[in-house]
Amino acid sequence: MELNPDKNYTWRECCDRGFKCWAGEEHGLAWFEEHGGITWPKKVDEAYLRPFVPNLRQPIYYEYVVNWGDKLRRSSNRWD
């Protein structure tokens, strides 16, 4: 989905476009707000990567995420 460089898009419009790009035209922001998410039956190796990928290191703590909420709350930009 192309963006018009002369238009200012809201956060909701950007999310809607992102969801439609990822999940298909019928699954925009409104669909996810109503249904919550998409699920599908997964193969064992899709659901549990570790045993099937050699040398996979999975972090258990993302220290850089801790302050995101405070930074977002202090931001003067609104997402609506």
CA 3/CA 23 separation, integer angstroms:
18
Residue 80 has pLDDT above 60, yes or no: no
What are the boundaries of each domain within the chain?
Answer: 11-74
Three-class secondary structure of residue 55 per DSSP: coil
More confident: 62 or 39: 39
State residue 69's pLDDT score. 78
State residue 77's pLDDT score. 61
